[in-house]
Amino acid sequence: ETGVTQSPTHLIKTRGQQVTLRCSSQSGHNTVSWYQQALGQGPQFIFQYYREEENGRGNFPPRFSGLQFPNYSSELNVNALELDDSALYLCASSPGTGGETQYFGPGTRLLVL
Amino acid sequence: DQQVKQNSPSLSVQEGRISILNCDYTNSMFDYFLWYKKYPAEGPTFLISISSIKDKNEDGRFTVFLNKSAKHLSLHIVPSQPGDSAVYFCAASKGPNTGTASKLTFGTGTRLQVTL
């Protein structure tokens, strides 16, 4: 059974650029959630996708957007990057909505200069 | 507003002894709680969870206790091993069938060091 994978592992961008991060969910999981973890903090919920529809959003601006594909893989897009967007971006998958355990990928570390 | 709090940023325990990690929450709507372990350069790894209908859940060396009236949970690791050295995150969610996304709300983590 393949776990959650994310790409790329590291990324450096400059302020104002756009970035796309990718996630493949664990086999059999139809729900993907994205989290941002700043240094010294716990992960913060960005949004969740269930069967290709956004199913809840945290306190992040619209320049954070996402997609989920029919195979349940997902993308996180961030436009107009700001310095504060520098963080570890984590993707987590779960069997369905509603409080089940979420399984995390290794994350993508984004540095915005 | 920090709804999930881990007030101890670090903890050092001797190998073989018990490690106790604590977590407090303020939102009474939370009814599902999880502990994750995180090594540097890796994503969080699920350890153990507990539903609010229980007050204890055990899995091998790991036990989670939930005190709903105090809005407090703790993770006990017995016996502690050097490989347990990591950052431990407490997380909470509003459980199944609430009609909302099951987002996890995390604490800020406790760094556990198990010494020889």
Taking the Cβ of residue A56 and every Cβ of chain B, the question of whether any pair is shorter than 8 Å is answered with yes
A1 has pLDDT over 90: no
The pLDDT of residue B102 is 77
Q: Please list every residue in chain B whose beta carbon sits closer than 8 Å to the beta carbon of residue A103.
A: 46
User: What is the rounded distance in angstroms from the CA atom of residue B85 to the CA atom of residue A103?
Assistant: 20
User: What is the rounded distance in angstroms from the CA atom of residue A85 to the CA atom of residue A75?
Assistant: 16
Q: Do A42 and B101 touch (CB under 8 A)?
A: no
Q: Roughly how many angstroms between the first and final C-alpha of chain A, as a whole number?
A: 37
Q: Do A43 and B4 touch (CB under 8 A)?
A: no
**Taking phi first (over 0 means left), then psi (-120 to 50 degrees means alpha), and beta for anything else, what does residue B7 get?**
alpha
Give the minimum alpha-carbon distance from B114 to chain A in angstroms, rounded to a whole number: 20
Q: What is the pLDDT of residues A4-38, one digit of tens each?
A: 999 999 999 999 999 999 999 988 888 899 999 99
Percent of chain B with pLDDT over 70: 94
User: What is the rounded distance in angstroms from the CA atom of residue A58 to the CA atom of residue A47?
Assistant: 6
B111 has pLDDT over 60: yes
Q: What is the pLDDT of residues B44-85, one digit of tens each?
A: 999 999 999 999 999 999 999 999 999 999 999 999 999 999
Q: Could you tell me which residues are beta bridge partners of residue B48?
A: B35
Q: Considering only CA atoms, which of B60, B34, B57 is closest in space to residue B47?
A: B34
Cβ under 8 Å to A: B residues 51-80: none
Q: What is the pLDDT of residues B5-45, one digit of tens each?
A: 999 999 999 999 999 999 999 999 898 999 999 998 889 99
Q: Do B34 and A90 touch (CB under 8 A)?
A: no
Q: Could you tell me which residues are beta bridge partners of residue B91?
A: B34, B106
User: What is the rounded distance in angstroms from the CA atom of residue B99 to the CA atom of residue A3?
Assistant: 27
Percent of chain A with pLDDT over 70: 96
Residues shown for chain B: 116
Burial of B35 (0-12, 13-18, 19+ CB in 10 A): buried
In the sheet that holds B19-25, the strands lie side by side as B4-5, B19-25, B72-77, B62-67, B56-59
Q: What is the pLDDT of residues A35-72, one digit of tens each?
A: 999 998 999 999 999 888 998 899 999 999 999 999 88
Q: Do B108 and A40 touch (CB under 8 A)?
A: yes
Residue of A nearest to B37 (CA): A104
Q: Please list every residue in chain B whose beta carbon sits closer than 8 Å to the beta carbon of residue A106.
A: 41-43
